[in-house]
Structure 1
Amino acid sequence: PYEALHIVSGLWRELTNFSSGSICMVLASHDYDENDYIRDYNVYLTKKL
């Protein structure tokens, strides 16, 4: 891979529109927990303030 993107905690980001045959690899220091994520942008805005 020649490109990477590091997203720090507290930023809003949705990963969509991957091209055919592409791979999204995620490395994390903790196990995935759905409850740790905000899926509604308006809720995110209230938490961010």
Structure 2
Amino acid sequence: MGIKPGTQLDIAHHFGLSHPYVHQLIYGKMSDTECTRKRIKEICNYVGVDLKR
């Protein structure tokens, strides 16, 4: 279909992050820090998800 982002790799490339780091962020494997929360919010905004926290 070609809709972006279609994969974690698309997200990683968009933000200049590594694929494993994006995977850990998405699956909640990172420490709960201000930086982590900021990255998750940025990713949610990029993919069009409303994060309710």
TM-score normalised according to structure 2 size: 0.24
TM-score normalised according to structure 1 size: 0.25
- Higher helix residue share: 2
- With a CA cutoff of 8 Å and minimum separation of 6, indicate the structure with the bigger relative contact order: 1
